[in-house]
Structures are given as C-alpha cells and as structure tokens.
Structure 1
Amino acid sequence: MKDGSLRWPPYLLIGLLPVIAAVIYMTGQRYDAAAVNFTFQKGGAESIQLPEDVEGYKKVGRPRQFTKDNLYEYNNGHAEYFIAKGFSSLTVYEYAKADTQADTLVEIYDMGKPIQAFAVLTDELPADSTAASVGTMGYTLSRGVLFFAGRYYVKIVTFNDSVPAGKIASVVEKSIGADAEPFTLFDRFPKFGKVVATQFIKENYRGLDFVHDALEREYELDGEKVAVCLIQQPEKTLAAYLNFFKTSNTKYSIVEHGGKQLYKVDDKYEGQWVLIPLEDTLIGVFGKLSDDKLMEIISLNSPRG
C-alpha cells in the first residue's frame, strides 16, 4: 500500500464486533432519560411544582419528564395518540403514605392548547365516570380523577380506595394556577335542550378531510337529536365546503337570516343541515331548529360592540 492510508485486516475487524456490541449494551444499560437535554415548551408541564406532602401522602423520588422524543418510554403504544392531539410535554409525580410503596400517580400533560387538552379528556373518559368540580371540566373515576385546566390534561390514578384522589386533584389544580388559560368556547354554545355530549374532533370531522379542529355539542331537544359545531378557519373551510358541494352534487340554497347568510344543505348522508359563516368561526347545525334557535346561536357567536 503505497498511498500511506491505514487499512485494518479483515480478521481484526471481525474480532472488534463483540467489543462494539458490549459497549453499546453497557451504554444502553446506563441510559437515563431524565438526563437527556430535550427541549420543553417554556412554562410547560415541567414548570409545575407539586408540594412534597398532599393530605398525608408524600412525594416519592423526583418527577419524571417526557417530551415527544421519549413519551413512548412511559406510554408505549399510546404515545402517538397524544402527539397527534398536540402533546408538548408530560411530568409524572408519584405519592405514597410513609413507609409504603407509591400508590398514586399524577400525570400532567401539556397539550399545547386548552381545546386539545379538552379533546384528550373526552376521549379518555370511561363510561362509569361522574362529573366533579375540579378544573375547567373534571370527572371522578372508581380510582382516580381526570380533568383539564387551560392547556393541561391531568390524570390522577390511585391503586387503593383510601387515597383522597379528589383532594389531590384540587391541590394539582391550584398548582397549575395562572398557567391555565381561560376556556370560553363553551360559552358559545346555546343553552337549550339537554346536553348529551361535547367533543373535539381534531381532523376529518364527519368524514370530511378538509374540516379540522371542530368542537361539537350534541343536544336532545323536543325528542330530537341536534348537533351544533364550531369550526375554526371559517373562510378557508367554507370555500372547501362549497367546492365539496359542487364536486359531490350536494344541493344547497343561500338564505338571508338576521343579516347573515345561511347555507341550507340537503345532504344525502347527513340529511338537512345548516352552515353559518361568521367573522371568526364557521357553525354547522345538524338537525331541525327553529329560526329563533338559529338566531340564538348566531347571537352567541357574533362579536359585540
């Protein structure tokens, strides 16, 4: 070899492979997720400090923190769900009575936006939950509490019946404090009939791939089901709807009502429904409503002053 370069004999390279494998293995054994410098959203879940003692339950160890990069290590199999919903960071606390193993988990998820925290809450809510006065919206479970406050989704899980999960939830809510943004979107829904369900659909609302970030409330009114939906990006989504009506031969008519244009749609799948474009939202009304009820919805969603 006259070029002066160094070349390793093949047998020596083969001999190095077990050494390399051993180094990789030992490095993996010493891996500490908490020591990795992941980037967190400023003021996110990692900034919330819970007290050392809550109702006689003491904090166990240091809180664990996760981001999109390593959430799968804590929530394997469900991490992609949270990330798709807008997840930013997670902090996990453990509590226990003195001289006992940890029997209470407090998970604080920073979901980026209040609407996204609300979406996760409604998705994860089991059938046997009951409403609780905690956070913007909260529920008690057989062993735990779920609630959201601002952009935070909080999940408290206990492993025995004696844990005061409700009191722990109140402490967590106070610890979130001013970081919790106000959530006023519920105020834009009318107060008629019986509320059956409220949910947030991040994408593909009613099977349409151009409708995203839809907040829907379903009512029972005079024995009929009615759904009112608030959709963001009104101009863009309205244009997409009109194009869809054209390409799918869906019939609609435009009527003036209360100084607003309403699109009355005759849909072979959804039946008759109404699309109401306003300044900062697009409203879909599915089911039969009187003109007075439609005006109530328009009034709640029209800017004042």
Structure 2
Amino acid sequence: MSRFLQFEKLLFANFMAEKIKQNPKQSIISCLIIAALVIIAVAIGFKQNYFTQFNADIADAANETEKAVFLTDSLFGEGFAPAAGVENYNSDNLYEKIDGKADLYLTNGFLSLQTCRFAENSSLENWAEVYFYDMGKPENAFAVYSTQKRSDAASLNWTQFGYSVSDSVYVMFGKYYVEIFLSAEDGKLLNSAESAGKRISSAVSAGKSDMPLMDVFPTENLVADSFKFISADAFGCSDLKNIFTSKYNIGDKTITVFLSTNAPAETYDKYYRFLLDNGGEELAHGLTVKNCKAVNLFGSIELFFYTDKYFAGVRGETEIENLRPIAEKLFKKISND
C-alpha cells in the first residue's frame, strides 16, 4: 500500500474516533458520508498507482523488445533455429559470460549484452553464438572493436567497421558491437554468420558509423585499418583519455599519430610531466610549431603539441627527423580546422 493510502486510512480512523466521542448519534451519518468519500479517494489512489506501475512495466517491456528484436528466430535463415533462449547480462554479471575479458568492456562504457546460440537444423553440432553489446555510444563500441581486431582479419565489404576470421565475425555500427562465434572452422557456417551480422546491422543502422576525427589524420603512408580509439590510460598515462590513433609506415619504421579534443592544453602539460617523471629527456624539436615539446623516453621519441581544439602528436622508435614531416602536416591540418 502506498504512503498516500496509509495516510488516508489513518486520518479517517482518527476523525471517526473524535466524532463519535463528541456526539455519537449525530456523528453516524457524517462518518458514513466521509467513509464513502475516503473509499472513493482510496480507489482513485489505487487506480493511479496501478496505471503508473502498468506504464512503467510497458516501458520496460518496450526497451527489452527493442534489444531482443535483433536476435530473432529467423536471424540465420531457414536452416537454423535458436538452441536456447536469449540470455541477458549487465555490468553486475557480465563476468559470468566473458570472464577474463569483462574489464575491457566495463571500462569502455558497457551497458548491456544479449546472447543467443543458433544451431543448424541438419546438425546441432554446428552452431553460431551471437553476442550483441550495447556500449552506450559509438566511441565506446569502436574502442572495443579496434582494440580486439585480429591481425588475420578479412574486411567485410558491406560495412565500414566489420571483419571475419576463420571461426568468427565482428561488426560495429553506431553504439553496438556484435561478435559471432562459430563451433568450428566451416566456410558455409561462416557465410551464414556474415549474413546474420549484415541483417542485424541493417536492422539497427545503415551499417556505417562515422567516427569523429578520422578525416583529420594524414592519409600518406597510413597503415590500412590501423585507426583506433583509446578511452583511458593511453600509452600508460592515466591522464591521456579519449585518444584517437593511427599507424604510419615511415621507411622501415612504424610510427603512431595520436589526436584528442579532450582539454588540449591541460592534457599537453600532464603528458609532458608524465614523460619527464618516468625518465624522459627533453629534446630540441626544430619545428616552427608553437606549444610543442619533444621528449626521448628510452629510445621512443614523443613529439606533441596543442591548439585551441586539439592535443596531438607523433611517437615512435626512430630519429626525430622521421617524425617532423608528419608532425608538421598534422599541425597544419588541425590549425586550419
């Protein structure tokens, strides 16, 4: 019973006791009338409470339906059927499903996971299990997707961020990240999993997720599919957050370009202090770039700077001369933005 109903009941009881005490005969009719009014008030209060809870239940059901609609019985086509119902996980029990990997998701904004296993009708030993993650926003989904991307990945031609390997499929679209794991390395099963991933992607979005800052990075010597997002503790520094990175081939060396819009001047100062506190030695950088520092950290050269909008830099185990050209291009591009 709600507090409102309890209060009405107590108020009515006290009122009747007082009336009867003052004038027993005259109070009977008055008390009956008031009792009727109280009953009406209680009924109205109960009805309002019922419909409030009903609406809340409908809203919860709608949210669950929105999530579950992508894992339908027909997701894998006529040759497959769900081997069990949809399983739901949140931040409290995620470790039960992916123990050992849960921290990666939890530190990148994880909201929920739904999984379902689909088995081939002709052979139940052939199955594919879908993991459907809601990561809250595209950057979080991309952080998980890019961090785990396999070196033997084969890109999917129907989506911007998706690939497959011999026994699994990985797709990221909007705030969602999907993994599909197979029971065995099987070409037919893999094709079915790729088609299922495409169906989910089409149901949720157009299959594309425009990531911020991708077009800011220089394109010359860019290593394909090396674009990543690091939400926290980039390069071992707790103050480096929400960093986008890409790799570049410079001669026989691979270097990293990084970029962020997170408090540029403050991040610049904190990263500089982090490098010096951990044994770095400042170098002369020779660039005509303001707000720029160069630090040698045990053979890795860090060349970084900031503008009003960006904190950016280049890092790699190579001579500083190899870093200057791309650093200048990057600075020129972000200065004009």
Both proteins in one fold, TM over 0.5: yes
Structure 1 residue 280 corresponds to structure 2 residue 309 = yes
- Measured in 1, the distance between the counterparts of 2:297 and 2:96 equals 46
Matches within 5 A, 1:65-144: 65-98=88-121, 101=124, 103-144=127-168
Between 224-233 and 198-207, the greater mean CA deviation after superposition? 198-207
2-structure distance, mates of 1:253, 1:290: 13
Q: What is aligned with 1:297?
A: 330
Contact 1:45 1:109 in 2 (8 A): no
State the match for 1:195 in structure 2. Answer: 223
How far is the alpha carbon of 1:134 from its aligned partner?
A: 4.4
CA distance in 2, matches of 1:129, 1:225: 20
**What RMSD over aligned residues (CA atoms) do the two structures have, in Å?**
3.3
What corresponds to 1:55 in structure 2?
77
The answer to whether the 8 A contact 2:250-2:322 is kept is no
Runs of 4+ in 1 over 6 A off after TM superposition: 42-45
Deviates more, 1:221-230 or 1:197-206: 197-206
Q: Post-superposition shift, 1:298?
A: 2.7
- From 243, 247, 251, the equivalent of 1:222 is 251
Give the match for residue 16 of structure 2: none
Quick one: structure 1 residues 66 and 271, their matched pair in 2 at CA, closer, same or farther if it must change by over 3 Å?
closer
1:241 aligned residue (271, 282, 299): 271
Q: Is the 8 A contact 1:254 1:262 kept in 2?
A: no
Contact 1:276/1:284, CA 8 A, preserved across alignment: yes
Alignment correspondent of 1:204: 233
SS of residue in 2 equivalent to 1:195: coil
Q: Does the 8 Å contact 1:151/1:180 carry over to 2? A: no
Q: Structure 1 residues 289 and 279, CA, compared in 2 at 3 Å: closer, same or farther?
A: farther
Alignment-derived partner of residue 5 in structure 2 = none
Structure 1 residue 262, shift from structure 2 partner: 4.2
Q: Residue 274 of structure 1: SS of its match in structure 2?
A: strand
Please give the alpha-carbon distance, in whole angstroms, between the structure 2 residues aligned to 1:141 and 1:121: 14
User: Which structure dedicates a bigger proportion of its chain to strand?
Assistant: 1
Distance 1:253 1:142, change over 3 A: same
Contact (CA 8 Å) 2:231, 2:242: kept in 1 or not? yes
Q: Report which of the two structures shows the higher radius of gyration computed on alpha carbons.
A: 2
Cα shift at 1:299: 4.2
Q: Counterpart amino acid of 1:280? A: K
In the other structure, the counterpart of 1:174 is 202
Q: Is the 8 A contact 2:160 2:208 kept in 1?
A: no
Q: Look up the match of 1:9.
A: none
Distance in 2, matches of 1:303 and 1:65, equals 47
Structure 1: gaps of 5 or more residues:
1-38
Q: Normalised by the size of structure 1, how large is the TM-score?
A: 0.72
Aligned partners of 1:90 and 1:303: how far apart in 2? 41
TM-score normalised by structure 2 residue count? 0.66
Equivalent pair of 2:275/2:297 in contact (CA under 8 Å): no
Residue identity matched to 1:106 = V
CA distance, structure 2, for counterparts of residue 242 and residue 79 of structure 1: 32
| Whole-Å separation in 1 of the counterparts to 2:218 and 2:306 | 17
The match for 2:213 is 185
Q: CA deviation at 1:283?
A: 0.6
Deviation at 1:59, TM superposition (A): 4.5
Maintained 8 Å contact 1:95/1:103: yes
Task: Give the gaps of 5 or more residues in structure 2.
Answer: 1-59
User: Which AA in structure 2 matches 1:94?
Assistant: R
Aligned-partner SS, 1:190: coil
Greater share of helix: 2
Return 230-239 or 147-156, whichever deviates more: 230-239
Question: Which residue of the partner structure matches residue 293 of structure 2?
Answer: 264
Q: Which AA in structure 1 matches 2:113?
A: L
- 2:267 partner SS: helix
